[in-house]
Structure 1
């Protein structure tokens, strides 16, 4: 009987420890939108998309890097931590140098849940 009580108590303690360690505080992006369509834009005129987000997590959100899929896309992002509940923006500027359709991505690396987020911009450059 003592063995059953001992192992039952041990099993209960393990279950409680596992359930409390399963919840890990994390940063979490809450995006307003993750894609932007510029439509038709004139050649030679750079255009900028602004992606707004909120840190919906429990710890500060730190963006370590954000880069465009090519040299034609410049990216601005917050260098300071975004505290829980606070908002931030990422700006992607596309240099509309060559005519034709384009589909570009911005890769955002951070400590947020999932680690990497991808933003999309597209449109058509007209002569």
Structure 2
């Protein structure tokens, strides 16, 4: 009987200690740039997150799948209930955008403390207005 109570106590302590700690909740895990042009869009986006746990949240590392996407992470721990951002700068190469950013944390609510963020969209060429066509369309009106 003693061993049964001891086992239940150990189980209860291990479950309650697992539930405590830093927890990360992102406002969104995918940002869709849509159709954008390099001339009209800087390529910067931010992923907002909140520490919903009861311990300081550490953003240990943030990595991109390629050098065309540069993420910036907070340097200080995020206290419980506070929010911060991970900024992403895409270099706006023409064509489709489909990149992943891996965030390494001490959060207990995500597997191994890792979260994968994504950016998607398409960088299109800036539409060039031919001045002769513009003048012609004005004259036709």
Instruction: Point out the structure with the larger strand share.
Output: 1
In 2: Cα distance, 1:104 partner to 1:39 partner: 14
Q: Which protein is richer in helix relative to its size?
A: 2
Gaps of 5+ in 2: 126-141
TM-superposed CA distance for 1:33, in Å, is: 0.6
TM-score (norm 1): 0.86
- Aligned twin of 2:5: 12
Are 1:91 and 2:84 an aligned pair? Answer: no
Quote the Cα distance in structure 1 between the aligned partners of 2:59 and 2:70.
16
Report the RMSD for the aligned CA atoms in angstroms.
1.4
Q: Distance in 2 between matches of 1:47 and 1:13?
A: 57
> Is 1:48 aligned to residue 41 of structure 2?
no
Q: Which residue in the other structure is 1:111 paired with? A: 106
TM-score by length of 2: 0.78
Question: Aligned pair count?
Answer: 119
Q: Which has the larger radius of gyration?
A: 2
Could you tell me which residue of structure 2 aligns to residue 65 of structure 1?
Answer: 61
5+ residue gaps, structure 1, are 1-7
